[in-house]
Chains A and B, each alone.
Chain A
Amino acid sequence: MELFVFVVAAAMVLGGALGVVTRSNPVHAAMSLVLTLFGIAVMFVSHNAHFLAAVQVIVYAGAIVVLFLFVIMLLGVDKAEDLSVEPITNQRPLAAIIGVGISAIVIAAIVSSRAGLGASGEGVDKTTLESPDANIRQLARVIFSDNVFAFELTSVLLLVAVIGTVVMARKTKAVGTGK
């Protein structure tokens, strides 16, 4: 059963990722990105990371992709891009070699070091019928005790990002006419 879930989710993830890279229409690419994000959320669930799976769907699939779609529609670039243009000679073969090479190096490192990966922490709580909120409880305990300073800093970061975006995307009047 776990194998079945893995195969289906991996097919979603890889199919969506290939779609993002190969689709010429940005809207289709965004839809493929949703597929990948849902596949990742399924894998989070199978690793007992239920809170992160929910956040993944809400923040990524719900907010970030919608933001992408808004910008695509706003800029009016929702028409197919000409994929036959290759600005640098042999750009695609070189990119493929580099990408496959990075993957191969990482996979080699994973396979060669997998024996050293023993359980070292105090355990990840499994969500059961008796304690349906085990994962959220454990995560909240760690975030609001050991990492509370980082958590507060993220709120500052989000505030700065929002203000910066409003300032940047605001229509500025022409130079010389003043504000």
Chain B
Amino acid sequence: MSFMLSVVQPTSTWYLVLSAVLFGIGTIGVMVRRNPLIMFMCIELMLNAVNLSFVALSSQIANIDGQVVVFFVLVVAAAEVVVGLGIIVSIMRRRTSLTVDDMSGLKG
């Protein structure tokens, strides 16, 4: 077993496959869940999956630019969460239940 552990090294393909699976789980979550907060968390999962693939590819092709992109994605994700949660809070001031099905008020 210890021989196996020293021989098998995870390549960046493993990390990319893991990030694809994580992205799929996030997609399923956004489509299945009805609570807007949980849907937001699933969007964060998808963002993190993409971040992971950026970092894995950055070390694979030996270029630091992937990490720079992840830095900017982190900043934009923080701004996005702040605005999104503000919208959810201001919607919840007017409604009582918290499911996205009740938020079809903009429908014509």
Q: Which residue of A lies closest to B92 (CB)?
A: A75
- Interface of B (DSSP majority class): helix
Number of interface residues of B (CB under 8 A): 73
Chain A residues, Cβ within 8 Å of B61: 117-121
Residues of A within 8 A of B13 (CB): 110-111, 114
Q: 1/0 per position for B37-78, CB-CB distance to A under 8 A?
A: 110111011001001100111111111110110111011111
CB<8 Å pairs between A and B, sample of 21: A17-B26, A21-B38, A33-B41, A43-B55, A52-B74, A59-B74, A59-B78, A67-B82, A68-B40, A68-B81, A71-B37, A81-B35, A98-B27, A102-B27, A107-B20, A110-B13, A124-B58, A124-B64, A147-B72, A158-B78, A168-B89
> Could you tell me if B41 and A68 are in contact, using CB atoms closer than 8 angstroms?
yes
Known: A17-B25, A55-B71. Is A164-B63 also a contact (CB below 8 A)?
no
Which range contains the number of A residues in contact with the other chain?
35 or more
Q: Within the complex, what minimum Cβ distance (angstroms) separates B84 from chain A?
A: 9
List residues of A whose CB falls within 8 A of some B CB: 1-4, 6, 10, 13-14, 17-18, 20-21, 26, 29-30, 33, 36-37, 40, 43-44, 47-49, 51-52, 55-56, 59-60, 63-64, 67-68, 71-72, 74-75, 77, 81, 85, 87, 91-92, 94-96, 98-100, 102-103, 106-107, 110-111, 114, 117-125, 135, 138-139, 142-143, 147, 150, 154, 157-158, 160-162, 164-165, 168-169, 171
